[in-house]
Structure 1
């Protein structure tokens, strides 16, 4: 089945009306190019944190600058569904847990008729755990455009996250981000910044590792102390970038044919088939490098 997919690079703030207007605008532009799947960034509803680490206000004890907490069955998600119509949409938001207090950095995949799946971010960088609780599950789900798995931002740095989705049958991994430039020694040309490099390298590597289509969205512009690197893209199972926004805001649009591409790329070397789980026991051990004397290096 051949579909057209679009990955969004755009700036989303605390202004929900601005968010919904931008979602509607970009959906219109994507549909004009035939898109059946549109992927918006992490925190597209309500914006991301204004700072990370020791640089600001990301503590549980304050509401200052925190994104609005939204229920999965709340009116904000229903409003996205109304805008989505027949288009499959993946979008990030701050989810309010069932206890009415716990917040999760979350994403949902939906269209106008149903919610296909949702995800709570597992891996948390630079003090994000002071504002969000962590998720604990990777699960793929079926949609009209194929079997999809969701992950958010820092998750892409962990091969196990993408592998778990691929082993659950994900054909398309959707990676939603609010990925900024480096906090120190930022490159004059942001496209050459070391964090931009890592963002792009992870996208290509995870697609190739698992021989899946990889759709990466990202915030662009600035918010609070963060300067985002854009570079929304669509990557094929060979690690080839089919379309990218580079630093700019806009859409990366490409046609993908899951069945035909999988037959061609998995017909010979098929990474999931050729794994050797019997020799990977150390991968799942709980001990971390720190416990054996390794010390983290600041300003990575």
Structure 2
């Protein structure tokens, strides 16, 4: 992911200038087309991130692109932006689910997984596999390595989002130092019961792979919960703040 975050002493103006220099259109951008061609050549599915240039000058989105053997499949624009990202990007406003031969896939970006509503929206829209692309850094001064508060959040969000939705989850994260921040790695595959199938571990550069049976995993979760609990047990009619019937009284 090409990610001009506001890091260290970088100013908002510098970050916007950087975004302008690397933003590309989707799916016609040079780098986008190159990766789409690679997916077709190698007969694989690829999810990759970039700064998307909007149709109007100066409009940018934090975007994931999904490509496969047949070419460009679709894209997702990050919905939940952090404080600094709001100075650079426009938020997305849609949660697309892509129906493919391997299963139905929903995409999220980094901070999106901090909110349960995104994964739940994708799940209720039919997603079987949730794929998250992240640039998630450690929180300096808040614990070492696996005990760092940001590392714990990253791992817990992955496992809980998979578990609470009974869905497979693939989480890919940037690793290494950039702009004074230490990005933690911890790319992993999580099963629908919240178990880690495979993980790159903390601060490790590399690729992790696993052969999974998407249908069998979903069926196992269905059995574990005694049936389709998200349809049977949810009480959307009682969630009055979520549906707008009552005002939100937190976060100012």
Q: Could you tell me which residue of structure 1 aligns to residue 222 of structure 2?
A: 266
Give runs of aligned pairs for residues 207-218 of structure 1, distance below 5 A: 207-218=162-173
Q: Could you tell me which residue of structure 2 aligns to residue 74 of structure 1?
A: 29
Give runs of aligned pairs for residues 168-179 of structure 1, distance below 5 A: 168-179=125-136
Paired residues, what number? 244
**In the aligned structure 2, how far is the partner of 1:287 from the partner of 1:57?**
36
Kept in 2: contact 1:208–1:237 (CA 8 A): yes
Structure 2 CA distance for partners of 1:126 and 1:190, relative to 1, 3 Å: farther
Give structure 1 stretches of 5+ with no counterpart.
1-43, 296-300
Compare relative contact order (CA 8 Å, sep 6+) and give the higher one, 1 or 2. Answer: 1
Q: Could you tell me which residue of structure 2 aligns to residue 8 of structure 1?
A: none
Kept in 2: contact 1:50–1:65 (CA 8 A): no
Kept in 1: contact 2:45–2:67 (CA 8 A): yes
Give the TM-score, by structure 2 length: 0.89
Q: Could you tell me which residue of structure 1 aligns to residue 240 of structure 2?
A: 281
Q: Could you tell me how far 1:112 is from its partner in structure 2?
A: 4.3
Give structure 2 stretches of 5+ with no counterpart.
none
Q: Could you tell me how far 1:66 is from its partner in structure 2?
A: 6.5
Q: Among residues 92, 96, 118, which one is paired with 1:161 in the alignment? A: 118
Give the TM-score, by structure 1 length: 0.76
Q: Could you tell me which residue of structure 2 aligns to residue 254 of structure 1?
A: 210
Structure 2 CA distance for partners of 1:65 and 1:205, relative to 1, 3 Å: same
Q: Could you tell me which residue of structure 1 aligns to residue 82 of structure 2?
A: 125
Q: Could you tell me which residue of structure 1 aligns to residue 3 of structure 2?
A: 47
Q: Once the two structures are superposed, what CA deviation does each residue of 1:157-190 show, in whole Å capped at 9, x if it has no partner?
A: 11100000001100000011000111x4143x32
Q: Among residues 131, 139, 156, which one is paired with 1:201 in the alignment? A: 156
